C-alpha cells in the first residue's frame, strides 16, 4: 500500500465481480454460497476504495442477461442484494458514502427496489465516495435508452442534431455527472466486457486477474492499482507529446 502514489490513484474504478459460481463449484458448494462469499469481497473492496480516497467505485452486481439464470439463483441474488443494502446502510452513512444505482431498476422485485430507493435517498448528501451499483444493467440497453431520449428531446425542439457532442451524449447515460472509469477490474480471468459500460470505457485501463471474486481482498485491489500506476495513458498521443 505504501508503494501506491497517492496523486496517481484512479478517480473512478469499475469492477466486473465475476467468479462466484466457480468459487463455489470448486468447493462442491452451491453457487448461492459463492454469491454469499462474494458479498464479503464487496464489503472489503468498498472499504479499501473509501480508505484510499477513490471518488467513484462502480460495481457490476447483476446484468440484464443474468435474469435468465435459474430462478433459484436469481431469487437468492435479489435477497442478498436487499440484505446487503440493509446491513450496510449505517456503514455507508458512517463512512460518508453515497449510494447510486444504474440499470433497468424497474425489473427488480418491488421490495428490493424499495430498499434500493431508500438507501439512495438516505445517503444522498454524503460526499466521501460514490458507490455506484450496476443492477439489471446492460451497456447496450443504456445506449439505446440514451438514443431514444435524445430523439425525444430533438423532436420537442430541445436538442438540435449538431449539438450532440460526446459530452452531451454522456449526459444521457446513467453515469451522467460521473467521470469515466480510469480502471476496470475483472476477476476470474475472463477477457470480456459482458455488456458493461460500453461507451464509458473508451480509454479505461483494463486489469484482469485470475482471482475469483469471493477471494478478492485488499491486497488484490492494491495489486491492480499498482499495475494501473505503471501504465502510460496516452489517449492517442505519442509518448513524446506526453512527456513534453
Site for ligand IPE, residues 193 to 212, rule: CB under 6 A:
194
Segment (H or E) for 210 = none
Please tell me whether residue 18 binds Mg ion under the rule CB under 5 A. Answer: yes
Please tell me whether residue 19 binds ligand IPE under the rule CB under 6 A. Answer: yes
Please tell me whether residue 20 binds ligand IPE under the rule CB under 6 A. Answer: yes
What's the CA gap between 234 and 170, in Å, rounded? 21
Please tell me whether residue 88 binds Mg ion under the rule CB under 5 A. Answer: no
- Say if residues 60 and 201 touch (Cβ distance below 8 Å): no
The one among 45, 63, 119, 209 contacting ligand IPE by CB under 6 A: 63
Residues near 157 by beta carbon (within 8 Å), at least 6 away in sequence: none
Residue from 20, 44, 55, 66 carrying the catalytic annotation = 66
- Say if residues 87 and 165 touch (Cβ distance below 8 Å): no
The owner of cell 480509454 is: 203
Please tell me whether residue 135 binds ligand IPE under the rule CB under 6 A. Answer: no
Is 20 one of the annotated active-site residues of the chain? no
Is 18 one of the annotated active-site residues of the chain? yes
What string of DSSP letters covers 156-218? TTSS-GGG--HHHHHHTSTTTTSPPPSEEEE-TT----TT--TTTTTT-EEEE-SS-GGG--H
What's the CA gap between 168 and 171, in Å, rounded? 5
**Nearer of residues 163 and 190 to ligand IPE, judged by Cβ:** 190
Interaction mask 23-62, ligand IPE, x per CB under 6 A:
-------------------------------------xxx
What's the CA gap between 115 and 86, in Å, rounded? 7
Single out the segment in contact with ligand IPE by CB under 6 A; choices: 17-25, 112-120, 145-153, 174-182: 17-25
Catalytic residue ranges: 18, 66
Give the interface with ligand IPE as residue ranges (CB under 6 A). 16-22, 60-63, 66, 77, 188, 190, 192, 194, 213
Amino acid at each position: 500500500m505504501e508503494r501506491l502514489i497517492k496523486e496517481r490513484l484512479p478517480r473512478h474504478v469499475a469492477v466486473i465481480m465475476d467468479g462466484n459460481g466457480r468459487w463455489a463449484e470448486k468447493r462442491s458448494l452451491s453457487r448461492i454460497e459463492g454469491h454469499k462469499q462474494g458479498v464479503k469481497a464487496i464489503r472489503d473492496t468498498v472499504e479499501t476504495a473509501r480508505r484510499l480516497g477513490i471518488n467513484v467505485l462502480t460495481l457490476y452486481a447483476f446484468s440484464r442477461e443474468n435474469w435468465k439464470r435459474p430462478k433459484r439463483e436469481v431469487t437468492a441474488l435479489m435477497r442478498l442484494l436487499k440484505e446487503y443494502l440493509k446491513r450496510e446502510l449505517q456503514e455507508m452513512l458512517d463512512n460518508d458514502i453515497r449510494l447510486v444505482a444504474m440499470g433497468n431498476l424497474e425489473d427488480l422485485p418491488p421490495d428490493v427496489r424499495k430498499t434500493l430507493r431508500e438507501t439512495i435517498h438516505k445517503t444522498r448528501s454524503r460526499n466521501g465516495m460514490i458507490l455506484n451499483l450496476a443492477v439489471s444493467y446492460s451497456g447496450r440497453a443504456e445506449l439505446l435508452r440514451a438514443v431514444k431520449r435524445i430523439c425525444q428531446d430533438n423532436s420537442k425542439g430541445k436538442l438540435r442534431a449538431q449539438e450532440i457532442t460526446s459530452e452531451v451524449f454522456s449526459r444521457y447515460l446513467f453515469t451522467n455527472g460521473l467521470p469515466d472509469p480510469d480502471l476496470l477490474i475483472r476477476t476470474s480471468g475472463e477477457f470480456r466486457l459482458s455488456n458493461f459500460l460500453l461507451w464509458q470505457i473508451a480509454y479505461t485501463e483494463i486489469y484482469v486477474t485470475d482471482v475469483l471474486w469471493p477471494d478478492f481482498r485488499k491486497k488484490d485491489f492494491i495489486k491492480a492499482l499498482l499495475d494501473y500506476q505503471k501504465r502510460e495513458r496516452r489517449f492517442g498521443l505519442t509518448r513524446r507529446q506526453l512527456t513534453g
